[in-house]
Amino acid sequence: MKFLYSKFNYLLFFFLIFSNAIEAQKLLKDKDLDTCRVFSSFQEAISMPDEVYVLDLSGSNLSTLPDEIIKLTKLQKLNLANNFISFLPSGLFKLKNLQLLNLEENKLDSLSSEIGNLSNLLALNLTRTKIPDLPEGFANLIKLERLNLSWNNLSEDKIKAVYKLSKLKDLNLQRNQLTKLDPGIKNLSELQYLNLNFNPLILIPDEIGNLQNLIELDLGKNSELRSLPEGIKNLINLEYLNLEGVPLSTEEKTKLPKIDPELIEY
């Protein structure tokens, strides 16, 4: 009996590994997605769902996204930019293979917590969508590497889920209403690009010094920012630092990392 139980566990383990491998094979790299056929008609796409990996419906004057989107189970890249969509159907969040989602320039009333079900999402563009906040489920996007939240009206208490996305490499928070960053920024240790341009920032936490993989930091046009944290000196791998329009005193500038002065824009 013990032998049979052990054999069952072994077979179950093998099945799970094999299933995960099959699932991983379904996901294409960026360069491969670039060579896929791009469908630009929803009607055409839905007529041959097994062939649709890339769907571009940008600038299509859409006010709604059809529920039939759920049928596109192989879809991995979806562009819905420049439409008038205010609501996203539940079926969209069941597309487990989706890796790239562009929602730029829509008027979303809200963002469902179901977005966290997109477990393979790598890049998400929400610029100019006027979303009021990020739902709790947003923190489940554990593979997300690129996130654009620019040109919204988000305050610091509305983006807390961001600080749980430990795989982020590129985060754009330009043109929001952030007055401070949460100390949870330290969790984003893989971050390489951080854009905080044109916010009413008055406080940056010392924990920003944990972002030692940071290559570019944009603090430009934060006209209320008059002091820097001591931890900022740890960002020694910076290749670009924008401080244009930031009223820092000479003393505050001594806290800057020891990098080539030509890499700093004032």
pLDDT tens across the length of the chain (266 residues): 555 545 555 555 544 444 444 444 489 999 999 999 999 999 999 999 999 999 999 999 999 999 999 999 999 999 999 999 999 999 999 999 999 999 999 999 999 999 999 999 999 999 999 999 999 999 999 999 999 999 999 999 999 999 999 999 999 999 999 999 999 999 999 999 999 999 999 999 999 999 999 999 999 999 999 999 999 999 999 999 999 999 999 999 999 999 999 999 99
* 167 and 135 part of one domain: no
Q: For residue 122, give the nearest of 151, 90, 145 by alpha carbon.
A: 145
My answer on whether 131 and 165 are in the same domain is: no
User: Are 78 and 134 in a shared domain?
Assistant: yes
Asked, for residue 14, whether it belongs to a domain, the answer is no
Q: What are the residues whose beta carbons fall under 8 Å from the beta carbon of 89, sequence distance 6 or more?
A: 64, 65, 66, 67, 69, 70
Examine the domain organization and report whether 140 and 165 are in the same domain.
Answer: no
Please name the helix (run of DSSP H) or strand (run of DSSP E) that holds residue 38, with its range, or none: strand 38-39
Of 113, 144, 175, at which residue does a domain stop? 144
* Greatest C-alpha distance within the chain: 77
The answer to the question of residue 18 being in a domain is no
| Whether 59 and 83 share a structural domain | yes
CATH number of the domain that 264 lies in? Answer: 3.80.10.10
**Total count of domains within the chain:** 2
Domain shared by 171 and 262, yes or no: yes
Residue 151 domain-assigned (yes or no): no
**180 plus 133 within the same structural domain:** no
Q: What is the pLDDT of residue 26?
A: 86
**Which distant-in-sequence residues (6+ apart) come within 8 Å of 194 by Cβ?**
171, 173, 211, 214, 216, 217, 218
Is 107 a member of any domain? yes
Residue 133's domain spans which residues? Answer: 33-144
Contact present, 230 and 207 (Cβ < 8 Å): no
